[in-house]
Chain A
Amino acid sequence: MSEVDGAGTLMQAAANASTPADYLRTARALRESGPLPGIRDLRVAVLASHSMQFSEPYLAVEGLRRGLRLSLLFAPFGQLEQPLLDPENPLWQFNPDVVLIAFRPEDVDPDVIRRFHATGGDQFRQVMSDLGSRIEAAVRRLRERSHAAVLVANAALPSQLPFGLFDANEPGALSHGLPQANAALAARARGLPGVSVWDYAGLVAAHGSATWTDPRLWALGRIAVSGPNQVHLGRHLARTIAALVRPPAKVLVLDLDHTLWGGVIGDDGLAGIELGDDYPGSVFKSFQRAVLGLADRGILLAVASKNSPETVAQVFREHPEMLLREKDLVASHVNWGPKSRSLLAIAEELNLGADALVFFDDNPVERAEVRANAPAVAVIEVPADPLRYEAALLDSGFFDQVMISEEDRGRTTMYHQERERKELAGQFTDLSDFLKSLEMRAVVGRAGSASLGRIAQLVAKTNQFNLTTRRHDEATIAGMAGQPDYIVAWLRLTDRFGDQGVVAVGIVAVEAGVARVDTLLMSCRVMNRQVETALMAYLVEGARQLGAEQMVGVYLPTRKNGMVEGFYPGLGFEQVEGPPGGGLGYRLDLRSGDVAWPGVIAREDATDPAIHARS
């Protein structure tokens, strides 16, 4: 069997796994298989207060379903500090990409939940706060030698509450204290680079705390999750891990007939389609609300429909029950051609790769056509019953994002501003006149606690305007920002149409008079506006302050970053020998040369405290 066949067969087995025996068999085949093309290897270390080894096959198979080969290392249960304090511990040799810390308060101290009222909840709060401090100390210890992403499990409410049926009637009860403790944990995690919460509480609640645990398994092996729930745990955790290492999709492309409304607009007409507050129209209205919820988080919405454009426009403008309106869409392709062609056209129009698109269509024939002819597009397997659309959309995992930045929240508006900008550009014949008319203002600054998340987000997902495509994780970036000879810079752009948010990032290391550009990237939204020149001018200025006499940069070509091939020559860099692994090298002598801040952009320096100022 060739390697490719091996990967395909394994993926198929993972997709079909349903019984425990299926999971165990597939996980074993995965462990024993050779390299799998297209599958990403990830090492995950687990530090837990209960025995999680048991979940390994479920995690491995659910990981494979998401294109990940998860190798797992389990510390003996109950050990949090020991593995991190011992330099000889296998954890260090294992060199994890992800570290999961899953400590349940009732394992740390069995009294805190069952005997919650013995101390009026004080002991519970103390244990949760101590646990938070222990986790924080553990993460700091880990950071001395590892950039692994860290997941911290929050705490789940038990099925039987300390004050019984009326627990929630007591303002000071566990029912309220536990969510508060979880909120404190989330705040603590947010303050630590590369640390995110794994929502164990949400997982348990979604599947029911009453049956989450099998008392036999707890008694026999300190296993906190019942057999049938192992699949749910594996799926939830694998999805969480996948979200850490993979950027979310950017655009949801929707079909219309039988998707956004019931019936066929071309046959049933404006008054005949099902959409409103009564069943079955209510189902579609509710689905539209869920779609808008995704847009609120920064997912762009587009339409690909086989219809006549005038008929569709009428629904969006005139149907009183439509929640989605034209302003919510960034692209609309309504024609009689193949949907794959519409999807690829949408990607091109938005200047995105086809892999940034997710397609939602009730028609299995259309889905198959897109899978065949636009294979990079993610296709949601839509259930036949519209009542299940909402769950299929929201549980697909394609939109899982670890954090929501300010930029995400206003994304649709930004795309519309971009349209207005293009209209304005049409009125000018001279580019610099147009740029001046935009009244651009750039705020530049160094990475700090407020900007780190957005910087990591851009580093993770920028494909096109990206000179080196180095995917540093948040902890690595924080580490660089904390070093005196590094410059981790960001640029935020505002113009007469609105705030574009942080759109460009540069990372430069200065050593012995040489400034090396590690990373230089920019959002394609602000192409051709001299923003990249502004950022380079800021980096050159910073490099000079650190004693640099020359600046060197490389262009590492990928399938997607051809647009920046001429970047360095355009700024007056001379070509020099490239890096040994391939790519082009460039150099600018800072004693004779310079990169000037562009006159069409006003400059402002940020007051956001740099990262080394806070730790």
Chain B
Amino acid sequence: MTLDARLRGVLADTLGVDAGKLNDDDSPRTIPGWDSVNHIQLILALEAEYAVQFDPGEIADLNSVQAIRRRLDRETAP
């Protein structure tokens, strides 16, 4: 899965960034709005959007656009 419009939309809404400027390398280091509170907001927004539930252990590791994309890829893989 590439960084599609659906994922871009959730990331942009949650983190307050321009959807068009997001890429795989973005993380809390490159996005100022990606703080600890917003990280959990993001996790819950993703869970609602993709109807998934993340394990508490993996929530902290979903700390880059790439990590999130790969994790969701696993979810949607056939």
Contact = CB atoms under 8 A, between A and B. Distances in A.
Contacts of B41: 20, 24, 54, 57
B75 interface: no
A53 B47 contact: no
Interface residues of B, number: 17
Contacts of B44: 20, 227, 230
A61 B12 CA distance: 18
A53 B37 contact: yes
Contacts of B48: 19-21, 227-228
A57 B45 CA distance: 12
A348 B29 CA distance: 62
Contact of A221 (B10, B12, B14, B37): B37
Contact of A223 (B40, B49, B56, B59): B40
A165 interface: no
A472 interface: no
A25 interface: yes
Interface residues of A, number: 19
A227 B43 CA distance: 10
B9 interface: yes
Contact of B10 (A21, A53, A220): A21
Contacts of B13: 21-22, 24-25
Contacts of A19: 45, 48-49
B36 interface: yes
B46 to A, nearest CB: 9
Contacts of A228: 48
Contacts of B37: 53-54, 221
Nearest to B10: A21
A21 B14 contact: yes
A217 interface: yes
B47 A21 contact: no
Given A216-B56, A219-B56, A24 B45 contact: yes
Contacts of A560: none
A28 interface: yes
Given A221-B40, A227-B47, A21 B59 contact: no
Contacts of A28: 16
B3 to A, nearest CB: 16
Given A54-B40, A54-B41, A57-B41, A21 B56 contact: no
B45 A21 contact: yes
27 contacts: A19-B49, A20-B44, A21-B9, A21-B10, A21-B48, A21-B49, A22-B13, A24-B13, A24-B14, A24-B41, A24-B45, A25-B13, A28-B16, A54-B41, A216-B56, A217-B40, A219-B56, A220-B40, A220-B56, A221-B36, A221-B37, A221-B40, A223-B40, A227-B44, A227-B48, A228-B48, A230-B44
Interface of A: 19-22, 24-25, 28, 53-54, 57, 216-217, 219-221, 223, 227-228, 230
